[in-house]
Amino acid sequence: MINGCSDQPDEVSLDYNPEDYRNWETYLGDDAASQFSSLDQINRDNVHRLEVAWSFSTGDLVEGERTEIQVNPIIIDGILYGTTPLKKAFSLDAATGEQLWMFDPFEGEEPRSRGVNRGLAYWSDGEGDRRLYYVAGPRLYSINADTGEPAADFGDGGSLDFVVGLDRDAMDLEITATSPGIVHEDLLIHGSRVYNRAPGHIRAFNTRTGEIEWIFRTIPYPDDYGYHTWPEDAWTRVGNANSWPGMSLDKERGIVFVPTASPGHDFYGGDRIGKNLFGTSLLALDASTGERIWHYQFVRHDIWDYDPPAAPNLITIERDGEVKDAVAQVTKTGYVFVLDRETGEPLFPIEEIEAPPSDLRGEETWPTQPAPVKPDPFVRQEFREEDVSDITPGAHEKLLERYREIRTGHMWDPPSTEGTLIFPGFDGGAEWGGAAFDPRTGILYVNANEMPWVLEMVPLENDESTPLSPGARVYAMNCTACHGSDRTGNPHAGLPELTDIGERMDRSRLEEVILEGQGIMPGFRHLAGDEMEQLITYLTDPDAAEAENIRIDDARAPGVLYSHTGYNRWFDPEGYPAVKPPWGTLNAIDLNTGEHVWNIRLGEFKELTERGIPPTGTENYGGPVVTGGGLLFIGATQDEKFRAFDKTSGELLWETDLPAGGYATPSTFEIDGRQYVVIAAGGGKMGTRSGDTYVAFSLPTVN
């Protein structure tokens, strides 16, 4: 069903050159993160004829491990570059899918996944030196794009420890990156994914040597702008405020746009009272020096994990009769913030919404949060009692009972010990797949989730005088978010139960997995000595852990009085979301006017459709691509399909089954006059099967 459908505006003559969009040389298509291509060989009239041109199996499925491929591959001079589920890098002939080379950063080690990767960055000096960059585990690699060999003059023989320059004891930090950096001249500007107390500073590396050219500190030091928005010692101990989803770059102006995450810990900020710049913000930095030009903070003192989930789109639109260069940031809360590219001034009015206070000990929420007046949110931001799902017979009353137990009613309801409804959820709204922008019309296309989550806080002391056992406290601070406070895991997310881990692994193997990571779990190198021993004892013999007398050093997290029971989606007894549909949508928004053009439900549970229930949409991960052929391509859905929609109306024109879920943003490119669309079918999310395949589609050739 198509809602609110209206004609899109005529194509407008903005700052647009079709030749800029014929290849796919950068993560998400170009430096503007537009997820757009002018290619039009595949179009509304012939898309139904698409067929598989080639598929490439990486050979990286590991029995017993849940793996993913979230890669948006890049295509340069007829060569496709990507990574595998086990974080090997490779190149293919993009017309045939034939492998050219494969690079394994973990060669000789036991095959296992080490988290996820979303793509590579590319740099060339224009004279034959062509390199690829990505982070695998704790190291940043520079690889010769022609041979797959490490670039010997970069770092230590082709790689460097990714903690470099963070000014804290490297042995205590755990840092990697899921999204690639972005290249400006001879600089590789990079964000990170951090754990424990690692700071999320933005760093620019020399593309040839790996030396750090500049650092922007997202948790300000005493002489930095924004220092007064934190406790005076926060720069020595608070972590995160990192940039994990990727960046965009205005090359002409020399400005890099950097979205940042919430400070740690995600759901309790009693140890970091204040506004907390530059957490959950958009930074506009001088790409050559790292100096701040402007910033906009989307959530003050973020305790909801509502950080911007995707690289911002650089856009050109018409506002009040003038052509404006702007930046558009989609959010987990369903907002689109549209800001002037040079000044950061909003191009649509923004109002302040009152936010309720917290009743957790030591916590102080910020009294208001910003909300754009336009565009309207592209997801529901309120989950009322009448929205409780009745799609499963007999489940409605059980869901209502739970609804009445937890804290509900306001999107900014703070975390609580009785449980707080988080809606929109931790994965959006928008998510890391990003939004696609058509520069000819000013239309933004964004897919979204409408999944409720329940966040329940747990005191790190049983009462004011009785602390948790040392191992239980280490577990609460590091493991609860994924495996739950009761160690039962999260099957929907592929997170295993740990109640029997002592029967499945001996202590040495368990220590190895904790330190090095496995599956989608990262390594926790900061856990060592007493903490590691206490954690392993707690996991393998909780009764013995209770009797331990050693007390853990609280210096790692002063003032942190609460952990939480994990990231818990709220399902009905049959495993469907607890809110009435839609559960996943695809939306078209005119950023010239701020008006919604159309929205549809994205994805289907066939078993519900067969019961006579209209398509509900599903959770979805991975973004859309919009093309000059009038099409919108997207995988992303839990039903493991790849689809093409009419970009003007939202009408479904073509769909096909993938060998595993396409939880990645596709790419499109042209070789010898033939257009291809390729997507990584890595699966592994939402309880679906894992895959190891890239699939390319094109129109049939004429003999």
Mean pLDDT, residues 296-308: 98
Contact status, residue 156 vs residue 217, Cβ threshold 8 Å: no
- Asked whether the predicted pLDDT for residue 171 surpasses 60, the reply is no
What are the respective helix, strand and coil percentages of the chain, to the nearest 5? Answer: 10, 30, 55
CATH code of the domain in which 648 resides: 2.140.10.10
Burial class (CB in 10 A: 0-12, 13-18, 19+), 208: middle
Long-range contacts at 489-494 (CB < 8 A, ≥ 24 apart): 490/566, 490/567, 490/568, 490/569, 491/687, 492/569, 492/571, 492/575, 492/686, 492/687, 493/567, 493/569, 493/685, 493/686, 493/687, 494/66, 494/519, 494/520, 494/684, 494/685, 494/687
The answer to the question of residue 564 being in a domain is no
Domain boundary among 524, 559, 594: 559
**3-12, 665-674, 685-694: range with lowest mean pLDDT:** 3-12
Give 62-91 pLDDT, tens digit per residue. Answer: 887 889 999 999 999 999 999 999 999 999
The answer to the question of residue 79 being in a domain is yes
Mean pLDDT, residues 531-540: 78
- Asked whether the predicted pLDDT for residue 473 surpasses 50, the reply is yes
The answer to the question of residue 565 being in a domain is no
pTM metric for this prediction = 0.89
- Asked whether the predicted pLDDT for residue 518 surpasses 80, the reply is no
Same domain, 41 and 107: yes
Mean pLDDT, residues 475-480: 71
CA 211 to CA 369: how far, in whole Å? 39
The answer to the question of residue 354 being in a domain is yes
Mean pLDDT, residues 494-501: 76
CATH code of the domain in which 544 resides: 1.10.760.10
Across all residues in the chain, what is the average pLDDT? 90
Same domain, 129 and 171: yes
Same domain, 596 and 508: no
The answer to the question of residue 325 being in a domain is yes
One-letter identity of residue 51: E
Mean pLDDT, residues 146-173: 90
Q: Give 460's pLDDT tier (boundaries 50, 70, 90).
A: confident
Same domain, 470 and 450: no
CB-based burial, 519-531: b 16+ in 10 Å, e otherwise: bbbbbbbbbeebb
Same domain, 241 and 289: yes
**378-387, 413-422, 474-483: range with lowest mean pLDDT:** 474-483
Same domain, 580 and 554: no
Contact status, residue 484 vs residue 565, Cβ threshold 8 Å: yes
- Asked whether the predicted pLDDT for residue 494 surpasses 70, the reply is no
Same domain, 410 and 550: no
Same domain, 306 and 416: yes
Same domain, 471 and 436: no
CA 271 to CA 248: how far, in whole Å? 32
Q: Give 462's pLDDT tier (boundaries 50, 70, 90).
A: low
The answer to the question of residue 319 being in a domain is yes
How high is the pLDDT of residue 661? 98
DSSP β-bridge partners for residue 388: 579
The answer to the question of residue 510 being in a domain is yes
- Asked whether the predicted pLDDT for residue 19 surpasses 90, the reply is no
- Asked whether the predicted pLDDT for residue 424 surpasses 80, the reply is yes
Same domain, 443 and 466: no
Domain boundary among 525, 559, 593: 559
The answer to the question of residue 20 being in a domain is yes
CA 490 to CA 498: how far, in whole Å? 10
Q: Give 488's pLDDT tier (boundaries 50, 70, 90).
A: confident
Q: Give 6's pLDDT tier (boundaries 50, 70, 90).
A: very low
Give 176-213 pLDDT, tens digit per residue. Answer: 999 999 999 999 999 999 976 899 999 999 999 999 99
Domain boundary among 531, 559, 587: 559
How many domains, the chain? 2
- Asked whether the predicted pLDDT for residue 218 surpasses 80, the reply is yes
Same domain, 239 and 206: yes
Domain interval for residue 217: 2-456+571-698
Give 377-395 pLDDT, tens digit per residue. Answer: 999 999 999 999 999 878 8
Same domain, 430 and 472: no
Q: Give 12's pLDDT tier (boundaries 50, 70, 90).
A: very low
Contact status, residue 447 vs residue 624, Cβ threshold 8 Å: yes
Determine how many CB atoms are found less than 10 A away from the CB of residue 643: 22
- Asked whether the predicted pLDDT for residue 668 surpasses 50, the reply is yes
